[in-house]
């Protein structure tokens, strides 16, 4: 079970948090939007007309940011276990990214377009048992990496949320083997006490054995 966001300290922290306040003022659905904004400010991963897949998109703040940057000529596809309120200009698929029928639906929506960018902010429901949780996290990130290796165009990018723990060095080295440039990023909007950080791979190298 995911940890419940309850208790006075969570409420106090939300009230003091500058990103919670700015997201409310800007009509963004979550403070998480600022993580993508900050990553994009530095690495410029979003541009007009792109085809973007957003994995773990609920409630939809990354979709909002992607929509603003990619514009009407792009294609944006969001996937999440939970339902979301529609985001203008984005297609949404509800389901588990690790379910092959959901992957088929994603591929149907993308059709014959080239996928320019995969962004994954997915965080699995945690049990509180460290070994089990880390295994779930690693399975999810490895599946995103494999999907991206198969489906990203040459030169495309992958932004992947990961959590400190066993196996992270191995996924980082997998990504280093399939992208020209790899960066490890902890955006200012990511809470210091959180084990999350992001790996960004740019310049996808297409492995012709997979084509």
Q: Which residues bind ligand SAM (CB under 6 A)?
A: 29-30, 32-33, 56-62, 79-82, 96-98, 121-124, 140
Dihedral angle sign, alpha carbons of residues 85, 138, 208, 66? positive
Q: Which of 5, 48, 161, 192 does the annotation list as catalytic?
A: 161
- Cα separations (Å) of 3 from 93, 124, 211? 25, 11, 41
CB of 206 to ligand SAM, least distance (A): 25
The residue (of 57 and 162) whose beta carbon lies closer to ligand SAM is: 57
Cα–Cα distance for residue pair 180/100, rounded to 1 Å? 29
CB of 2 to ligand SAM, least distance (A): 9
The residue (of 71 and 95) whose beta carbon lies closer to ligand SAM is: 95
Q: Which of 54, 211, 191, 199 is nearest to 141 (CA)?
A: 199
Cα–Cα distance for residue pair 181/201, rounded to 1 Å? 6
Residues contacting residue 141 through CB under 8 Å, at least 6 positions apart: 120, 160, 161, 162, 171
Q: Which of 153, 121, 180, 160 is nearest to 49 (CA)?
A: 153
**Cα angle, residue 137 at apex, residues 59 and 124 outer, rounded to 5°:** 30
CB of 156 to ligand SAM, least distance (A): 19
The residue (of 15 and 82) whose beta carbon lies closer to ligand SAM is: 82
Known catalytic residue at 48 = no
Cα–Cα distance for residue pair 165/177, rounded to 1 Å? 20
CB of 44 to ligand SAM, least distance (A): 19
Cα–Cα distance for residue pair 66/132, rounded to 1 Å? 33
The residue (of 123 and 135) whose beta carbon lies closer to ligand SAM is: 123
The residue (of 61 and 178) whose beta carbon lies closer to ligand SAM is: 61
CB of 55 to ligand SAM, least distance (A): 6
Give the residue numbers annotated as catalytic, written as ranges.
Answer: 161
């Amino acid at each position: 079970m995911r940890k419940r966001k309850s208790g006075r300290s969570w409420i106090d922290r939300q009230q003091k948090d500058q990103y919670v306040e700015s997201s409310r003022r800007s009509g963004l659905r979550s403070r998480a939007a600022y993580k993508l904004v900050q990553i994009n400010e530095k690495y410029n991963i979003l541009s007009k007309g792109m085809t973007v897949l957003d994995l773990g998109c609920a409630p939809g703040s990354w979709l909002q940011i992607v929509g603003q940057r990619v514009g009407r000529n792009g294609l944006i596809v969001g996937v999440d276990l939970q339902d979301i309120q529609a985001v203008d200009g984005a297609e949404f698929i509800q389901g588990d990214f690790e379910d092959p029928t959901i992957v088929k639906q994603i591929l149907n929506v993308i059709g014959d377009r080239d996928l320019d960018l995969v962004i994954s902010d997915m965080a699995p429901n945690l049990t509180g048992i460290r070994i089990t949780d880390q295994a779930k996290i690693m399975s999810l990130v490895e599946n995103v990496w494999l999907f991206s290796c198969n489906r990203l165009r040459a030169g495309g990018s992958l932004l992947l949320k990961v959590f400190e723990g066993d196996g992270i060095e191995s996924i980082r080295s997998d990504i280093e083997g399939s992208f020209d440039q790899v960066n490890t990023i902890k955006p200012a909007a990511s809470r210091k006490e959180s084990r999350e950080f992001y790996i960004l791979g740019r310049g996808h190298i297409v492995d012709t054995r997979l084509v």
